[in-house]
Amino acid sequence: MASPEKETPDIGAEYETWKRNCPYMYSFVSETTMTWPSLTFDWCGYREDEAAGMGVHQALAGTFSQDKEEKEKIVLMESTIPLDLGDLGKLGPNGRPADLRFKTVKEWSHDGEPNKIKSCGDLMASINGEGTIFVRSVTGSVDETPVTLKEHTTNAFGLAWSVGRGGAGDPEALVSGGEDGKVILWNLESKKSTWNITTSSVNDVECHKTFPYIIGAALEEGFIALYDTRAPETAGGTLTRPPSGDKPTPYNCLAFSPHSEYLFAAGSSESTVNLYDIRNTGYRLHSLSGHNGAVTGIEFDPFHGQYLATGGQDRRVIIWNMNTIGCEQSQDDAEDASPELFFMHGGHTAPVSAFAYNPEMEWCLGSVSEDNIAQIWGVSDKIYSPTELEVIEDTLE
- Could you tell me which residue, 329 or 345, shows the higher pLDDT? 345
Instruction: Say what the pLDDT of residue 86 is.
Output: 85
Mean pLDDT, rounded, of the chain: 90
Q: Summarize pLDDT for 151-192 with one digit per residue, the tens.
A: 999 999 999 998 865 443 445 789 999 999 999 999 998 999
Q: Summarize pLDDT for 31-61 with one digit per residue, the tens.
A: 999 999 999 999 999 999 888 889 999 999 9
Asked if pLDDT for residue 395 goes beyond 70, the answer is no
Asked if pLDDT for residue 90 goes beyond 50, the answer is yes
- Could you tell me which residue, 209 or 386, shows the higher pLDDT? 209
Q: Summarize pLDDT for 250-286 with one digit per residue, the tens.
A: 999 999 999 999 999 999 999 999 999 999 998 899 9
Instruction: Say what the pLDDT of residue 68 is.
Output: 93
| Mean pLDDT for the stretch of residues 96-115 | 93
Asked if pLDDT for residue 99 goes beyond 50, the answer is yes
| Mean pLDDT for the stretch of residues 237-242 | 82
89-103, 271-285, 306-320: least confident range: 89-103
The H-or-E segment that residue 235 falls in is none
Of the pLDDT bands very low, low, confident and very high (cuts 50, 70, 90), residue 328 is confident
Instruction: Say what the pLDDT of residue 172 is.
Output: 73
Instruction: Say what the pLDDT of residue 48 is.
Output: 95
Of the pLDDT bands very low, low, confident and very high (cuts 50, 70, 90), residue 1 is very low
Instruction: Say what the pLDDT of residue 89 is.
Output: 74
SS3 331: helix
- Could you tell me which residue, 396 or 8, shows the higher pLDDT? 8
What is the C-alpha separation between 86 and 285, in angstroms, rounded? 40
What is the C-alpha separation between 155 and 175, in angstroms, rounded? 15
Asked if pLDDT for residue 4 goes beyond 60, the answer is no
Instruction: Say what the pLDDT of residue 239 is.
Output: 87
Bridge partners of 108, per DSSP, are: 74
Q: Summarize pLDDT for 355-376 with one digit per residue, the tens.
A: 999 999 999 999 999 999 999 9
Instruction: Say what the pLDDT of residue 52 is.
Output: 85
First to last CA, the chain: 53
Asked if pLDDT for residue 221 goes beyond 90, the answer is yes
Instruction: Say what the pLDDT of residue 198 is.
Output: 93
Q: Summarize pLDDT for 123-145 with one digit per residue, the tens.
A: 999 999 999 999 999 999 999 99
Torsion region of 83: left, alpha or beta (phi above 0 gives left; psi -120 to 50 gives alpha) = alpha
> 292-319 burial string, b = 16+ CB within 10 Å, else e?
eebbbbbbbbeebebbbbbbbbbbbbbb
Instruction: Say what the pLDDT of residue 88 is.
Output: 85
Instruction: Say what the pLDDT of residue 392 is.
Output: 55
What's the CATH class of domain 11-35+113-381?
mainly beta
Instruction: Say what the pLDDT of residue 93 is.
Output: 60
| Mean pLDDT for the stretch of residues 296-307 | 98
Asked if pLDDT for residue 72 goes beyond 50, the answer is yes
Of the pLDDT bands very low, low, confident and very high (cuts 50, 70, 90), residue 87 is confident
Of the pLDDT bands very low, low, confident and very high (cuts 50, 70, 90), residue 98 is confident
From residue 373, how far is each of 115, 183, 294, 318, 368 by CA, in Å?
A: 17, 32, 20, 18, 6
Q: Where are the domains of the chain?
A: 11-35+113-381
Instruction: Say what the pLDDT of residue 309 is.
Output: 98
Are 205 and 216 spatial neighbours (Cβ–Cβ below 8 Å)?
A: yes
DSSP letter (8 states) at residue 102: -
- Could you tell me which residue, 161 or 95, shows the higher pLDDT? 161
Asked if pLDDT for residue 2 goes beyond 50, the answer is no
What is the C-alpha separation between 116 and 202, in angstroms, rounded? 14
